[in-house]
């Protein structure tokens, strides 16, 4: 009987507890806790949109779809009122401090004895665009006790689609849109398309754009015909297949590079196909802007490179009288065919074209290489009337593979070209390159890359020894031979102390005819700065010119040709890094004379 009575008493107590719990209103928070260990906890808090902030007290929420009140004047979406700093997942006992629960408000006096925070981070609902994240950490006081430090930060969620503002009177409830019918189609069309069509503001902005003389980004450039008619500028490109599409417009400010192929019959298309003829790409005039009264800008041919059958190239000195039209040499070989086209368009900040230059590569096409592959490039460069852009070869130290920065010293400082190709250079290897007969192919000296090249000298051309000697030296050095080389890749022009002078060393002999046999550049560089990120710095540039020590006939060995060499070598002179230790600091302490009184 005693056991039955005890069981009956426990059952009644359970029913009373259930009844009391049922009568309580617990609608304030619904927690879906996701914990990583015992430190990071993310809370999904049920949205409650009360205007009065509350803590852990009960909050009766109202479904959002029944809210018909207009939004605030600001138009911002409502945010939940429950602060994340008031949430504490480790607070399991009410009215009692939970050990190491840093967010428990009951632990104000016991925090000094905490060893760690069981929950270090508590964050809000991940479904919101921005949520609060509170962090708890323990510090140490001077006495060695724990001290609580907390902070609340805003965290933006970039993984969801967020509506930052809402101007509908029905809040989050969006009614079904009206379906277009025969009766309401006109009204819906005016409602949703007035911004694009028929709007005064839109017409005004369109008129303003049309009144601008310059091109806008993406506009098709306009060309001028022989009689002034307007046309579009086409740049061939590959279509669905690799075949060239000649009616592809080039857009303003959009750099473009394309390769395409042409299927031709050489004996029929060699001299008649416009795509083969360089006049198709040179006889073009551009309107500087979109208006009809703008200036006309012609295409200026900057360079023409001739490519042989075996692929070697040589630049052609354009004098104006050359006949470079395609010609059929035999039924299976066509000469002077356009292989590569490069346009460089300069424009001003107003969007007007001020200069167009063209570079071409002409070569041979044989039946074995068909279909013909052509390259087309277009580049846009903005021209600033105040200052041209200067390219560097490092910041601050040189970068391996970039040209050396060189210049000439004047009273105002260092003068250099803005084009990196116009710098210290050397001859490039080419087949049958004569030292005294142009054109000579040159390439800039690239930092960290040793190079060897040269040319051949005919002994019959060395009759006038003094004249040939100077001409040959100028060929080895290149045009506009500089005097100084920048020690760093970004050395300023106004500081001559950051530039290294080229030292000249000539190895000459007492001969009746002294001809430069070799031209060598020895560049010494070192690592400057910290061991973690050393920067290459040029410390010395030496030019070594060696002339013949015997007669030219003995050097040639019976041959009518003499090899002349041009080379460059980079020599690292950095000292080996040695570990260093700081000296132990000395303490110079002086005690007062009565410090040990009264013992001493």
Mean pLDDT computed over every residue of the chain: 77
Q: From CA 218, how far away is CA 248, in angstroms rounded?
A: 13
Reported as a single tens digit per residue, the pLDDT across 12-55 is 444 444 443 334 333 333 333 333 344 666 554 443 333 333 33
Per-residue burial over 65-79, b if 16 or more Cβ lie within 10 Å, else e, is: eebeeebeeeeebbe
Q: What pLDDT score was predicted for residue 193? A: 64
Q: How confident is the model at residue 239 (pLDDT cuts 50, 70, 90)?
A: confident
Q: What pLDDT score was predicted for residue 320? A: 67
Residue 289 neighbours by CB distance under 10 Å:
21
Tell me what percent of the residues of the chain surpass a pLDDT of 90: 17
**Range name among 281-295, 421-435, 495-509 with the lowest pLDDT average:** 421-435
For 162-196, what is the HEC assignment? CCCECCCCCCCCCCCCCCCCCCCHHHHHHHHHCCC
* Tokens 């100028």, located at residue: 474
Task: Report domain extents, the chain.
Answer: 84-168, 219-382
Nearest to 83 by CA among 131, 17, 121, 126: 131
- pLDDT of 423 > 90? The answer is no
Nearest to 572 by CA among 500, 524, 521, 522: 524
Nearest to 117 by CA among 131, 133, 104, 129: 104
Could you give the 3-state DSSP secondary structure of residue 55? Answer: coil
For 436-472, the DSSP string reads SSS---EEEPBTT--EEEEEEEEGGGGSSHHHHHHHH
315/403: higher pLDDT? 403
539/63: higher pLDDT? 539
Average pLDDT rounded to a whole number, residues 363-367? 87
Q: How confident is the model at residue 498 (pLDDT cuts 50, 70, 90)?
A: very high
* 5 membership: H or E segment, kind and range: helix 2-23
- pLDDT of 92 > 80? The answer is yes
Average pLDDT rounded to a whole number, residues 511-536? 87
Contact 523, 569 (CB under 8 A): yes
Take residue 201 and report the two structure tokens written for it: 């503001």
Q: What pLDDT score was predicted for residue 52? A: 36
Q: What pLDDT score was predicted for residue 197? A: 42
Q: What pTM was estimated for this model as a whole?
A: 0.40
Q: What pLDDT score was predicted for residue 42? A: 54
Take residue 60 and report the two structure tokens written for it: 């009766």
Q: What pLDDT score was predicted for residue 75? A: 47
Average pLDDT rounded to a whole number, residues 108-112? 84
Q: What pLDDT score was predicted for residue 67? A: 45
> Which residues contact residue 438 at a Cβ distance below 8 angstroms, ignoring those fewer than 6 apart?
317
79/563: higher pLDDT? 563
Beta bridge partners of 25: none
Q: From CA 382, how far away is CA 405, in angstroms rounded?
A: 23
231/538: higher pLDDT? 538
Q: What pLDDT score was predicted for residue 161? A: 77
> Which residues contact residue 482 at a Cβ distance below 8 angstroms, ignoring those fewer than 6 apart?
406, 407, 408, 416, 423, 424, 502
Nearest to 308 by CA among 362, 265, 267: 362
Q: From CA 278, how far away is CA 275, in angstroms rounded?
A: 8
């Amino acid at each position: 009987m005693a056991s039955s009575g005890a069981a009956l008493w426990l059952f009644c107590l359970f029913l009373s507890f259930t009844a009391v719990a049922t009568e309580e209103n617990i609608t304030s928070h619904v927690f879906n806790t996701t914990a990583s260990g015992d430190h990071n906890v993310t809370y999904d808090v049920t949205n409650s949109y009360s205007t009065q902030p509350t803590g852990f007290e009960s909050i009766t929420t109202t479904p959002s779809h029944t809210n018909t009140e207009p939004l605030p004047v600001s138009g911002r979406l409502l945010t939940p009122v429950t602060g994340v700093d008031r949430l504490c997942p480790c607070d399991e006992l009410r009215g009692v401090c939970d050990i190491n629960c840093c967010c428990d408000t009951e632990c104000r006096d016991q925090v000094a004895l905490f060893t760690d925070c069981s929950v270090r981070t508590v964050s809000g609902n991940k479904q919101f665009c921005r949520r609060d994240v509170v962090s708890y950490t323990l510090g140490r006081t001077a006495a060695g006790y724990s001290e609580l430090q907390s902070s609340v930060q805003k965290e933006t969620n970039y993984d969801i689609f967020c509506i930052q503002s809402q101007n509908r009177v029905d809040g989050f409830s969006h009614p079904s849109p009206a379906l277009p019918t025969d009766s309401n189609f006109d009204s819906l069309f005016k409602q949703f398309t007035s911004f694009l069509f028929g709007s005064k503001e839109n017409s005004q902005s369109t008129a303003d754009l049309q009144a601008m003389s310059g091109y806008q980004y993406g506009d098709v450039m306009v060309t001028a015909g022989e009689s002034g008619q307007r046309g579009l500028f086409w740049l061939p490109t590959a279509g669905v297949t690799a075949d060239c599409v000649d009616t592809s417009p080039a857009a303003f400010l959009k750099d473009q590079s394309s390769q395409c192929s042409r299927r031709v019959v050489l004996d029929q298309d060699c001299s008649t196909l416009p795509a083969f003829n360089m006049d198709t790409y040179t006889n073009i005039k551009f309107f500087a802007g979109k208006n009809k009264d703008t200036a006309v800008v012609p295409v200026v041919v900057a360079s023409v490179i001739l490519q042989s059958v075996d692929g070697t190239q040589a630049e052609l000195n354009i004098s104006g009288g050359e006949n470079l039209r395609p010609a059929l040499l035999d039924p299976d070989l066509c000469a002077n065919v356009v292989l590569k086209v490069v346009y460089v368009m300069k424009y001003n900040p107003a969007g007007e074209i001020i200069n167009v230059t063209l570079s071409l590569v002409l070569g041979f096409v044989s039946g074995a290489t068909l279909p013909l592959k052509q390259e087309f490039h277009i580049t846009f460069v903005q021209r600033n009337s105040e200052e041209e852009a200067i390219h560097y070869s490092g910041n601050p130290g040189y970068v391996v593979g970039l040209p050396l920065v060189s210049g000439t010293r004047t009273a105002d400082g260092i003068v250099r070209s803005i084009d990196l190709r116009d710098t210290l250079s050397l001859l490039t290897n080419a087949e049958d390159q004569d030292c005294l007969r142009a054109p000579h192919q040159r390439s800039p000296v690239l930092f960290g890359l040793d190079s060897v090249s040269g040319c051949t000298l005919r002994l019959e051309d060395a009759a006038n020894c003094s004249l040939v000697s100077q001409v040959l030296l100028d060929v080895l050095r290149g045009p506009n031979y500089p005097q100084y080389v920048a020690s760093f890749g970004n050395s300023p022009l106004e500081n001559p102390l950051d530039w290294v002078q080229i030292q000249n060393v000539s190895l000459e002999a007492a001969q009746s005819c002294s001809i430069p046999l070799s031209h060598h550049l020895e560049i010494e560089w070192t690592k400057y700065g910290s061991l973690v990120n050393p920067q290459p710095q040029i410390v010395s540039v030496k030019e070594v010119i060696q002339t013949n020590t015997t007669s030219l006939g003995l050097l040639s060995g019976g041959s009518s040709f003499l090899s002349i060499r041009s080379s460059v070598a980079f020599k690292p002179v950095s000292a080996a890094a040695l570990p260093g230790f700081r000296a132990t600091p000395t303490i110079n302490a002086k005690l007062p004379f009565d410090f040990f009184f009264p013992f001493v």
